[in-house]
Structure 1
Amino acid sequence: MKITYKPTEPIKIALLAVGGDGGGVLTGWITKLAEDNGYWAQYTYIAGVAQRTGATVYYIELFPLKKLQKDGKLTTPILSQMPAPQDVDILMATELMEAGRSIQRGFVSKKTTMIFSTNRNLAIREKENAGDGIADGEKIFEMTDKYAKKSLFGNLKLIATKNGSIISSSLFGALAASNTLPFKKEDYIKVIQSGGKGIKQSVNSFNEAYQYVTDFIAQPKPYNADLQPAQFEKIPYSSESEKLNEIIFDIKKTIPKEVQDIAWYGANHLIDFQSLKYAKDYLEKVKDFIKVDSPEKGYKLSQQVARYLATGMAYDDLIFVADEKTRKSRQKEVYQQVGAKDDEIVNTLDYLHPGFEEVTGFLPVKLGKRLAKSEKWRNRYNKYLDKDRRMHSTRFFNFIMLYTMGGLRGWRLKTLRHHEEMENINSWIERMKQVVTINYNLAVELANSYRLKKGYGDTYERGHSKFAMINKYAIENSNIPNIDENISHIISYALQNHNTAETKKLIEELG
């Protein structure tokens, strides 16, 4: 059943779109749809800077031309340029948190039909969190139930991607299926077919989204988070690669079943990061630790060691960053984000800011240590070289430079950063071996504490500082009652609190 609007009121539509999602295209389609069907249409937009690729608020008002006719003359309506609080009929969002932000900004009320996608573009704060910093999507749905008249949602981004299009086309289909505008499905399709590129893909995306929302209205679906915790793939029986078959055989022969899937994932991660030999070194460390673990405990400690040892051995350094920026998978992701075709040229502007520690960490151990301790060289670096750099990584010289640096895996094992990380890992393993016979659960929490070490630069320094404080406190107090519960609490607190001083304060309070 179509919604009936007051004759004296325009239809008010707000769209919150993240950069690259085709918000301008969708706004143009809605405007043309209205004008082709006897409506006066006006739209405005205000670009914002979100913590992702920039978010824009588009606002559209539609008014029937027949209501503007008086004595044979057309009266020009006076329409608003921005959505007013509690006065939006249709609210669309290309991403889940933008839907939540629309409620926060007061756009949504009991007259509002919300149409939004459940996909996520993670904000900076979510990415930089030492643990799982992904915001709780359940809260968004609690708010939509409370504040909106009706909510229609699904992973519209996935529908568009499957059809080789961008989310504007699937969101347009969802709008058509919602029956919130007085237009027919055929009218929407005519607008898409009237011009532009990728018409077939856009129409296919539109139709799939239309059917999805039609089914949704007939049988509403519960919210299902699109960002689920990563699951380890089960170890295969065999591989096409003889070298990988060696790894598979070794894991199945020497590692308990409870740990095999994690060890397999970790080994693959380290092959990609460094080499097959490096992955074998990882497996030897895991097997060495299994000897002191308890089968009665289900090898819970070895599972956590295998998980975070792989993370620790695949640390972020300049070589890793350069490699990530020049991978084909990254190029594919960028093309998908901006909706570009394979034969189109996309220039990528990257932000680089290597700190003094990253530069000295790239040097040989002795030279790196000497320069890292030198205040003279640190001051020189901070004065002349410690600057923000923006680099077009798709330009020939810049790409070759990054590609060459990303290929220096053989050099990585000779660097100061590698030397320091291996020292950290070995001492971490020894601490767990030291306490495992005294307090098994404490050893598990020490394994979990490696979650705090992440990234590089300031992020790494904060995480490493918290990691070191927690491990020191655990060892010094390993004999006190409930120490494992205290460490678990401190780790959770440290993961959620950005400030290192806050973690130190909590440790001091616990004594």
Structure 2
Amino acid sequence: MNQSKQPISILLCALGGEGGGVLAEWLADSARRAGYPAQATSIPGVAQRTGATTYYLEFFPVPLTELAGKRPVFGLNPLPGRLDLLVSSELLETARQIGNGLASSTHTRVITSSSRTLTTAEKMQIGDGRQDDTALLSLVRQHSQQHHVLDMAQLTREAGTVVSAVMLGCIAASGVLPFGREVFEGVVTGESGTQPGKAAQASLRGFAFGFEAVLRQREQTRRVEELLSTDEQTVTDPRWEDAKEASNSQEKALASFPAPLRERIALGLARTTDYQDAAYGQLYLERLQAVLASEQQADPAGASGYATTHEVARWLALWMAFDDIVRVADLKSRASRWSRVVGEVKTTEGDLLRLYDHFKPGVPEFAALLPPRWAVRLQRWDRARVMRGQLPWALPLKIGTHSVGGMLALRVLAACRRLRPMGSRYANEQALIQQWLDAVALGLRTHAALGHEIALCGRLIKGYGSTNERGKDNLLHVLQHLAVSPSLPDPADRARAIAAARTAALQDEAGTQFDAALREHGAPARALREQPIRWMRKPRSTVQ
């Protein structure tokens, strides 16, 4: 607790829908209940995820009963380097406030979530536009007197509430404010002597999770300081169990891979199994085993840390779980999605919630589920329409997910995952995946760097629709003209050419830089595609 006569200053950062305003009210009400003067102000953020709404609060550390009728004068905005506590539900927002000079390594305690909600600028990048989490965490450590980093998003999901309740628990456990835990919990429950409702019970769970998480970190810090002070610190590194001690089939499967790969492969296995079935997950492991065998042949000592297999494990899982209408229907009809929507709109008992999902599947989506012979006929018919100047055929749909009929329609479509392996897109995707993996294996046997660069080209496959098709075309062009380029007999030169082409392909959607990189390294640019000309009627003028 701050024993000086200066107000305790707290800055809260929350994104839209996270209950930042409620959190500020909880804190102000806690001060009033405990008999301390307090003031709260807020600055709205900008829409489309370019900034959080910030709430600035000041608390005078002396009870009103001891002020003899005097009232403290509070500020309306935080002063640089004078914050006592900075609390944020998103890591980049924490870094933004630190960048504004509000936090100080000698004065400020920081509580932040390790989870990320990508900004609009990050999402707009064709390549990986995400900020480096390691750099953001380093910034937090450098500009805080003490810091607590925890996954608030995970705690929120476990509690079934909104993140503001978790943040309140973190603040209560930090010890910055001179109020006991019971004061904060009393504000959450509302009227004393009444049974808390379901929303209040969920908020109390979130409060408890946040409180215990910060309390554990404070206790761990205290113990480490005690150990360091007596020079009795011991460090143990967690290790994977041996294959003979694996207790289930997944652990046994992962035990056949080197330890540095297991965490990522476990994520990929979970994704592919959830996408299709256990056999599909086994196919994922078998493909990785083939790549690993090629890499071990090229690098028997494992000096590179199996970097190529590590990259393939990531991009292969994403590619094998390609988006189609079956996947979309499955995700939109899951119970977790309904729970998330209910939490976002903050419904209470007695509220009526209706949820409509809009779809516009076209010929590519329907053809994807048909056998190749039927799919070719359907696509040929649609291309003929387009060449005549008509728009591609599509079926606009509006489905009420809140209704029995709407949910049943989505679940029936999601059940079509059993038919997915018989569809044309499944066959095409698997053929392209195998072509890429064969190129990686061949590259590894030729030159380790060449195989690694081809593996990294898996990041070209992303998105859906035209973006996905363009990425696959770019990958095939690289495999056909750079990976085996006769004009680049040295494998190291081919590796550098592929790296340059891949980087250029991720720079712009039009592919101008990609074509330039191809020509620079002796490969032909992509062929121009035919585009139909559509004649539009000139609108009649209404001016007389």
Question: TM-score, length-normalised on structure 2?
Answer: 0.68
Give, in angstroms, the shift of residue 30 of structure 1. 0.9
Q: Is the 8 A contact 2:114 2:152 kept in 1?
A: yes
Q: Deviations over 1:196-229 (max 9, x none)?
A: 52175356336414523543664689xxxxxxxx
The answer to whether the Cα contact below 8 Å between 2:84 and 2:107 also exists between their aligned partners in 1 is yes
1:170: Cα distance to partner? 3.8
Offset of 1:344 from its aligned partner? Answer: 9.5
Is the contact between residue 81 and residue 102 of structure 2 (CA under 8 Å) also seen in structure 1? yes
Residues 154 and 172 (structure 1), Cα distance of their counterparts in 2 relative to 1, 3 Å cut: same
Uncovered stretches (5+) of structure 2, i.e. residues with no partner? 226-239, 523-544
- Amino acid corresponding to residue 28 of structure 1 in structure 2: E
Contact 2:324 2:365 in 1 (8 A): yes
1:158-169 correspondence runs (5 A): 158=154, 166-169=162-165
- Report the Cα distance in structure 2 between the residues aligned to 1:405 and 1:328, rounded to whole angstroms: 16
Find the counterpart in structure 1 of residue 39 from structure 2.
Answer: 41
Aligned AA (2:115): R
Give how far 1:449 is off: 2.0
Q: 1:368 to 1:487 in 2, by over 3 A?
A: farther
Question: Pairwise CA RMSD of aligned residues?
Answer: 5.1
8 Å Cα contact 1:362/1:415 also seen in 2: yes
**Which residue does 2:493 correspond to in 1?**
483
CA distance in 2, matches of 1:283, 1:215: 41
Q: Distance in 2 between matches of 1:234 and 1:335?
A: 43
Task: Name 1:171's counterpart in structure 2.
Answer: 167
Q: Secondary structure at the match of 2:484?
A: helix
Stretch of structure 1 that moved more, 271-280 or 313-322: 271-280
Where 2:482 maps in the other structure, the secondary structure is: helix
Contact 2:298 2:444 in 1 (8 A): no
Distance 1:161 1:274 in 2: 25
Distance in 2 between residues matched to 1:308 and 1:210, nearest whole Å:
35
Distance in 2 between residues matched to 1:150 and 1:480, nearest whole Å? 53
CA contact 2:165–2:204 (8 Å) conserved in 1: no
Partner in structure 2 of residue 224 of structure 1: none
Deviation at 1:173, TM superposition (A): 3.5
Distance 1:175 1:271, change over 3 A: closer
Aligned counterparts of 1:143 and 1:434: Cα–Cα separation in 2? 42
Q: Please state if 1:119 is matched with 2:114.
A: yes
- Equivalent of residue 131 in structure 2, options 109, 128, 135: 135
Contact kept in structure 2, 1:41 and 1:62, CA below 8 Å: yes
Is 1:397–2:427 an aligned residue pair? Answer: no
Residue 46 of structure 1 and its aligned partner are, at CA, apart by 1.8
Match of 1:474 in 2: 483
* Inter-partner Cα distance in structure 1 for 2:268 and 2:141: 41
Question: Which residue of 197, 209, 215 maps to 1:211?
Answer: 215
| 1:162-195 Cα deviation digits (max 9, x unpaired) | 5665443443233234443344455434434444
Shift of 1:100: 1.4
SS in 2 for 1:486: helix
Aligned partners of 2:241 and 2:514: how far apart in 1?
A: 31
Residue 2 of structure 1 corresponds to 2
Aligned with 1:123: secondary structure?
coil
What's the secondary structure of 2:483's corresponding residue? helix
Match of 1:93 in 2: 88
TM-score by length of 1: 0.72
Query: 2: distance between equivalents of 1:141 and 1:297?
Result: 34
Q: Report the Cα distance in structure 2 between the residues aligned to 1:144 and 1:434, rounded to whole angstroms.
A: 44
Contact 1:362 1:368 in 2 (8 A): no
Deviation of 1:119 after TM superposition, in Å, equals 2.8
Q: Which moved more, 1:210-219 or 1:446-455?
A: 210-219
Give me the whole-angstrom Cα distance separating, in 2, the residues matched to 1:450 and 1:310: 10
Q: Take 2:158 and 2:29, find their aligned partners in 1: how far apart are those partners? A: 26
Cα shift at 1:146: 4.8
**SS of residue in 2 equivalent to 1:321:** helix
Q: Deviations over 1:58-80 (max 9, x none)?
A: 2334567969999x7x8896863
Higher mean C-alpha displacement, 488-497 vs 168-177: 488-497
* Partner Cα distance (1:293, 1:110) in 2: 46
Give the direction of change, closer, same or farther, for the CA distance of 1:120–1:282 in structure 2 (3 Å limit): closer
- Inter-CA distance 416–508: structure 2 relative to 1 (3 Å threshold): same
Partner of 2:236: none
Which has the larger displacement, 404-413 or 283-292? 283-292
1:225 alignment counterpart: none
The answer to whether the Cα contact below 8 Å between 1:365 and 1:419 also exists between their aligned partners in 2 is no
- Residue of 273, 276, 293 corresponding to 1:274: 276
Distance (whole Å) between structure 2 residues aligned to residue 106 and residue 355 of structure 1: 51
Match of 2:325 in 1: 318
Give the match for residue 529 of structure 2: none
Show the counterpart of 1:227: none
- Distance in 2 (CA, whole Å) between partners of 1:446 and 1:296 is 15
Measured at CA, do residues 51 and 420 of structure 1 come closer, stay the same or move farther in structure 2, by a change above 3 Å?
farther
Offset of residue 323 of structure 1: 1.6
Q: Post-superposition shift, 1:460? A: 1.6
Question: 1:420 aligned to 428, 446, 451, which one?
Answer: 428
List gaps (5 residues or longer) in structure 1. Answer: 222-230
Check 1:393–1:379 CA distance in 2 against 1; reply closer, same or farther (3 A cut): farther
Give per-residue Cα distances to partners, 1:429-483, cap 9 Å, x unaligned: 5545665654454244324422321231244244324423432322225622513
Partners of 2:127 and 2:507 within 8 A in 1 = no
Contact 2:115 2:151 (8 Å CA) reproduced? no
Cα distance, 1:217–1:39 mapped onto 2, change above 3 Å: farther
* Distance verdict in 2 for CA 1:79–1:443, change over 3 Å: closer
Change (3 A) 1:132 1:180: same
Is the 2:367–2:424 Cα contact (8 Å) retained in structure 1?
yes
Q: Which residue of 2 aligns with 1:228?
A: none
Distance change in 2, residues 1:437/1:28 (3 Å): closer
Partner secondary structure for residue 402 of structure 2 = coil
Conserved? CA contact 2:23–2:164, under 8 Å: yes
Distance 1:69 1:305 in 2: 66
CA–CA distance in 1 between the matches of 2:142 and 2:438?
52
